[in-house]
A and B are shown apart, each in its own frame.
Chain A
Amino acid sequence: MIPADPALGVDLALPAVRAVPDLALPTLKAVPVQSGTSFFDGLGQFLQPETLVSVFVEGLAKSAIYVMIAAGLSLIFGLMGVLNFAHGTLTMIGAYLAGIVMVVLVGGATGQWGRILAFFGALVVVFVLVGGFGSLVEVGLIRRLYDRPPIAQILLTFGVALVLEEAARIVVLFYGLQPTSEWQEALGTKPAVLATRHSLGPLSIRGLALFEILLGVLTVVGIWAFLTRTRYGLFIRAGSEDAEMAQALGIDVRRVFTVVFALGAGIAGVAGAVLMWDQIWGANVPLAAETLLPAFVVVIIGGLGTFRGTVVGALIVGMVDAVTTWWFINVVTWTWLPDVAVFLILVGMLILRPQGLYGVEEVGGH
Chain B
Amino acid sequence: MSLLEVEDVETYYGESHILEGVSLEVEEGEVVALVGRNGVGKTTTLRSVLQLTPPREGSVRYRDEELVGMRTHEVADRGVGWIPEDRRIFSQLTVEENVRVAVPDGVDTDEAVAFAFETFPELDSHRGRDAGTLSGGQQQMLAIARGLVGENDLLLVDEPSEGLAPQIVADVATALAEASTETTLLLVEQNLPLALDLADRFYILDNGRVVDDGDADEVSADDERLRRYLSA
Contact = CB atoms under 8 A, between A and B. Distances in A.
A251 B92 contact: no
Chain A contact residues (Cβ within 8 angstroms of B): what range? Answer: 10 to 19
B93 A238 contact: yes
Given A234-B97, A234-B101, A238-B101, A248 B92 contact: no
A238 B82 CA distance: 15
A235 B72 CA distance: 15
Contacts of B82: 245, 248
Contact of B101 (A235, A244, A252): A235
B76 A250 contact: yes
Contacts of B100: 231, 234
A249 B92 contact: no
Q: Which of A241, A245, A250 has most B Cβ within 10 Å? A: A250
A308 to B, nearest CB: 12
Interface of B: 50, 52, 71-73, 76-77, 81-82, 84, 88, 90-93, 97, 100-102, 104, 109, 146, 150
B93 A241 contact: yes
B150 A245 contact: no
A247 B102 CA distance: 10
Contacts of A248: 50, 52, 72-73, 76, 81-82, 84
Given A237-B93, A244-B52, A250 B88 contact: no
Contacts, number: 59
A244 B91 CA distance: 14
Given A235-B101, A250-B104, A245 B77 contact: no
A11 interface: no
A81 to B, nearest CB: 15
Given A234-B97, A235-B101, A245-B84, A250 B77 contact: yes
Contacts of B146: 249
Contacts of B102: 249
A248 to B, nearest CB: 4
Contacts of A247: 52, 71-73, 76
B207 to A, nearest CB: 26
Contacts of A65: none
Nearest to A247: B72
Contacts of A250: 73, 76-77, 104, 150
Contacts of A235: 101
Given A241-B93, A242-B88, 13 more contacts: A231-B109, A237-B93, A238-B93, A238-B101, A241-B90, A244-B72, A246-B101, A248-B84, A249-B76, A249-B146, A249-B150, A250-B76, A253-B73
A237 B94 CA distance: 11
A237 B82 CA distance: 19
A251 B101 CA distance: 9
B77 A241 contact: no
Q: Which of B72, B88, B150 has most A Cβ within 10 Å? A: B72
Contacts of A254: 71
Nearest to A241: B90
A253 B50 CA distance: 15
Nearest to B92: A241
A234 B146 CA distance: 14
A197 to B, nearest CB: 44
Contact of A251 (B73, B81, B84): B73
Contacts of B81: 248
A251 B150 CA distance: 12
Interface string A245-265: 111111111100000000000
Contacts of B88: 242, 244-245
B132 to A, nearest CB: 10
A249 B73 CA distance: 7
Contacts of A252: 71, 73
B131 to A, nearest CB: 10
Nearest to B50: A248
Contacts of B73: 247-253
Nearest to A251: B73
Contacts of A242: 88, 90
Q: Which of B77, B97, B101, B146 has most A Cβ within 10 Å? A: B101
A184 to B, nearest CB: 46
Nearest to B80: A248
Contacts of A246: 101
B69 to A, nearest CB: 15
Contacts of A251: 73, 101
Nearest to B147: A249
